[in-house]
A and B are shown apart, each in its own frame.
Chain A
Amino acid sequence: MGGLVGRNLLAGPEPDVAADAGHPDPPPRMGFFTDTSVCIGCKACEVACKEWNAVPEDGLEFTGMSYDNTQGLGADTWRHVAFIEQNKPMGHAETGAGDGGATDLRWLMASDVCKHCTHAACLDVCPTGSLFRTEFGTVVVQEDICNGCGYCIPACPYGVIDQRKGDGRAWKCTLCYDRIGAGMEPACAKACPTDSIQYGPLDELRERAALRVDQLHDLGVDDARLYGHDPDDGVGGDGAFFLLLDEPEVYGLPPDPVVTTRDLPSMWRHAGMAAAAMLGGLAAVFAVHGRAGGGR
């Protein structure tokens, strides 16, 4: 298995995910760039996703978490808009409140989604082959195959995929596999009124995102940074990446996620050593004790 790591199939940058997954001559890898600096928290993406994908209702609850009653991604929430109220300035922006200067108050909103990881732990650990890599480089569950073993759920380093109650199977964002296959953009990106959610070829999105960060830094928004854009990160880069205005954990995102299967060769090695130790140890115990009747 060490050889697999060298070939970048368990971790590290992997420029041709779809080809490596066996798609001959795949289209460019498609993804999302979610620029949270222009998100207005309208939740149009949440609604559009539910409508297009016929995702069932999963409870109406008042949480007291700013305007977020959705709470987090799960089997029945494939887009989740986070709301964070902070006592920090947003660049040089003035709200007209206070003394008329820049105010120490800002409201961050961010639409979260499945990251469609380059090295997707959910896909790696799925024992049935239900989760698969599409020709667009995205990660999709085949619901007619999933047997609800639940392994993908704790494997995902972002807390995206989950089991649907009463259904038993695992569900998550498909990056609108049906729509993008027909040359349309995913429902959430289509519905986003501010273009916070941008869909397109990943290479293009990465270029655009880098320009946007520079632009924001020029405007004085020093805390703008990209998240999940780097093919050298722990999951080989995300197919859906973000522009954030604070640390990832403020938005409920892990600061340095790593695909668990990166360490799988080491895990099997240790399991092998433990198994060998057990076999050898017990053989030695029987050898020392000898045949019944003789010795002890």
Chain B
Amino acid sequence: MSTSGVGKDGMHGERPGREAQVGKGPQRRGRKRGRHRGEKAMVPDAEFTSYYGRPILNPPVWKASDVAAYFFLGGLAGAGSVLAAGAHRTGRPVAARALKISSLAALGGSTAALIHDLGRPERFVNMLRVMKPTSPMSMGSWLLVAYGPAVGAAAVLDVTGLFPRLGGAATAGAAALGPSVCTYTAVLAADTAVPAWHEAHRELPFVFAASAVAAASGMALVTAPPRETGPMRTAAALGAALELAAAKILEHRAGLAAEPYKKGKAGRFVRAGEILSVAGAAGGVLLGGRGRAAAALSGAALLAGSACTRFGVFHAGTQSARDPRYTVIPQRERLRAAAG
């Protein structure tokens, strides 16, 4: 509509609105226009404002049943590989085999969940089109490319009894990569504008690592005889304790962004996760060495607790993205602090 235009040579023609005297009015008595020059009327509002209460961010479109499950299963697989290698080397063959199989199954499940969550699942291979250090999802995909064959070989060679040397090497390889498989998903969540995830970027990897150890220990308690699960019971206790500690530090450090972890659906999942993890770890340590049934029950509680924690973290993120307060207030405070 404007009479001007822009060409390869640049802009030409007069633009009508640019100099519009918006806000011009007659001079009022006793007020000099010059007074306003450079005057700052931008005293920040004390109270919170938003655009009709609408979120600033576009909340994640990820489905909890896919992505929270992917976090959980990835942790179960990764920590399971470390425990499997430990069991393998210390003469605990039943636990080692069970954990190798569960890691392979969990990895399969987590990959399936990830692919299922894509808007274009048939284009999954595009994940391997580039290798991008700035994208945790790209790095994670490549990590899984290295980890998958190791986990697969460890499980298959153990079950078939073929090439024990190679099986040992695969077991060790999976154990070396396993911890990163557990923690990179925390970076994946934290590397977003979602307040509850981003503000927790220091603590979230520890929460995920600890929760993964608790889950894999639980799996060992469910699947292996008590005479082999001594280390796993200790690991479960350590995992549950560290998970609680990391969550407490998170609550303390993340400020307002930690609030969603205590509210609504996220709050219920987080609380259930805490109760189940503590109960499972306590049951494992006190009773897990005595009877198979008590051990299995404790293990199941540990697994469920870890899953609840991941769903809690997931929902805390989406809740914080949906409420503009979590985006605006910390940013306002930051600006105010910077202004002195």
Question: Residues on A close to B: CB < 8 A?
Answer: 1, 10, 35, 37-38, 44, 63, 65, 68, 71-74, 82, 84, 90-94, 101-102, 121, 124-130, 145-151, 153-163, 167-170, 183-185, 190-196, 198-200, 208, 212, 215-223, 225, 247, 249-257, 260-261, 263-264, 266-268, 270-279, 281-283, 285-286, 288-293, 295-296
Chain A: which residue is nearest B44 at the CB level?
A247
If the complex has contacts A38-B22, A147-B127, A153-B60, are A252 and B332 also in contact, measured as CB distance less than 8 A? no
Selected from B16, B51, B208, B317, the residue in CB contact (under 8 A) with A274 is B208
Which of B203, B213, B334 contacts A256, CB < 8 Å?
B334
A198: B residues at CB distance < 8 A: 15, 18
Tell yes or no: B219 within 8 A of A by CB. Answer: no
Whether a CB of chain A sits under 8 angstroms from the CB of B230 is yes
The distance from the CB of A111 to the nearest CB of chain B, in whole angstroms, is: 13
Q: What are 25 pairs between A and B in contact, CB < 8 Å?
A: A38-B20, A91-B25, A92-B26, A125-B136, A127-B138, A128-B127, A129-B129, A146-B119, A146-B120, A147-B127, A150-B117, A169-B120, A216-B22, A219-B21, A220-B25, A260-B198, A261-B191, A263-B201, A264-B134, A274-B208, A277-B206, A278-B213, A282-B235, A291-B91, A293-B91
Interface size on B, residues (CB 8 A): 118
| Residues 6-47 of B contacting A (Cβ, < 8 Å) | 6-8, 11, 15-28, 33, 36-42, 44-45
Contact with A along B96-135 (1 / 0, CB 8 A): 0000000000000000000001111101101101101111
- The answer to whether B135 and A124 have CB atoms under 8 Å apart is yes
Report how far A220 CA is from B94 CA in the complex, Å.
Answer: 80
Choose from A38, A146, A150, A274 the contact partner of B206 (Cβ within 8 Å): A274
**Which one of A10, A68, A292 lies within 8 Å of B228 (CB-CB)?**
A292
**Does B90 interact with chain A (Cβ within 8 Å)?**
yes
CA–CA, A192 and B3, complex, Å: 11
Q: A94-B25, A219-B24, A281-B238 are in contact. Are A271 and B130 (CB under 8 A)?
A: no
Residues of chain B contacted by A288 (CB below 8 angstroms): 231, 234
A278 touching B182, Cβ below 8 Å: yes
Given contact pairs A121-B193, A127-B130, A150-B117, a sample of 15 additional A-B residue pairs in the complex whose CB atoms are under 8 Å apart: A37-B20, A82-B51, A101-B28, A128-B123, A147-B118, A159-B56, A163-B119, A168-B119, A219-B23, A247-B45, A250-B50, A260-B192, A263-B198, A270-B202, A274-B205
- Taking Cβ atoms with an 8 Å cutoff, the residues of B that contact A are 1-2, 5-8, 11, 15-28, 33, 36-42, 44-45, 48-52, 54-62, 79, 82-83, 86-87, 89-92, 117-121, 123-124, 126-127, 129-130, 132-138, 141, 175-176, 179-180, 182-184, 186-188, 190-194, 197-198, 201-206, 208-210, 212-213, 227-228, 230-231, 234-235, 238, 289, 317, 321, 324, 327-328, 331-332, 334-335
Task: Compute how far the CA of A196 lies from the CA of B20 in the bound complex, rounded to whole angstroms.
Answer: 10
Partner of B129, one of A71, A145, A185, A251: A145
Please state if B18 and A212 are interface contacts (CB–CB under 8 Å): yes
Query: Chain B contacts of A101 at CB under 8 A?
Result: 28
Q: Which 9 A-B pairs have the closest CB atoms?
A: A148-B119, A91-B23, A168-B119, A92-B25, A252-B51, A275-B179, A147-B123, A194-B17, A222-B41
Q: Is the CB of A194 within 8 A of B126?
A: no
Taking each of B23, B87, B91, B190, which has the highest tally of chain A beta carbons within 10 Å of its own beta carbon? B23
| Structural contact, A169 and B129, CB atoms closer than 8 A | no
Q: Which of B8, B129, B327 is in CB contact (< 8 Å) with A254? A: B327
Q: Which residue of A lies closest to B141 (CB)?
A: A127
CA distance A125 to B204 in the complex (A): 18
With a cutoff of 8 Å between Cβ atoms, the chain B residues found around residue A195 in the complex are 2, 15-18
Query: Smallest CB–CB gap between A262 and chain B, Å?
Result: 10
Q: Please, which residues of chain B bring their CB within 8 A of the CB of A148?
A: 118-120, 123
- Also in contact, A275 and B130, with CB within 8 A (given A252-B54, A254-B328, A289-B234): no
Are B42 and A253 closer than 8 Å at their CB atoms? no
B123 smallest CB distance to A (angstroms): 4
Structural contact, B137 and A38, CB atoms closer than 8 A: no
Contact between chains at B51 and A91 (CB < 8 Å)? no
Q: A129-B130, A218-B37 given as contacts; is B56 within 8 A of A249 (CB)?
A: yes
B83 in complex: contacting residue of A145, A222, A275, A282, CB < 8 Å: A282
Q: How far is the CA of A182 from the CA of B59 in the complex (A)?
A: 35
The CB with the most chain A CB atoms within 10 A, among B44, B57, B59, is that of B57
Asked if residues A286 and B89 are in contact (CB atoms below 8 Å), the reply is yes
- B contact residues around A216 at 8 Å (CB): 22-23
Chain B residues with CB under 8 Å of A293's CB are 91, 227
Inter-chain contact A149/B190, CB cutoff 8 Å: no
A286 touches B90 (CB 8 A): yes
Given the interface pairs A191-B1, A278-B79, the reply to whether A147 lies near B36 with Cβ below 8 Å is no
**B-side contacts of A291, CB under 8 Å:** 90-91
Q: Which residues of A contact B334 (CB under 8 A)?
A: 256
- The answer to whether B191 and A275 have CB atoms under 8 Å apart is no
Q: Smallest distance from the beta carbon of B316 to chain A beta carbons, Å?
A: 13
Residue of B nearest to A149 (CB): B118
Inter-subunit contact A150/B56 (CB<8 Å) = no
Enumerate chain B residues within 8 angstroms of A126, measured Cβ to Cβ: 132, 135
Docked CA distance A129–B125 (Å):
12
Chain B contacts for A121, CB-based, 8 A: 192-193
Q: A128 contacts B129, CB within 8 Å?
A: yes
A218 to nearest B CB, angstroms? 6
B230 close to A222 (CB less than 8 A): no
Most buried by B among A84, A150, A216: A150
A84-B51, A279-B82 known; A156+B57 contact, CB < 8 A: yes
Tell me which residues across on chain B come within 8 A of A219, comparing CB atoms.
Answer: 21-24, 33
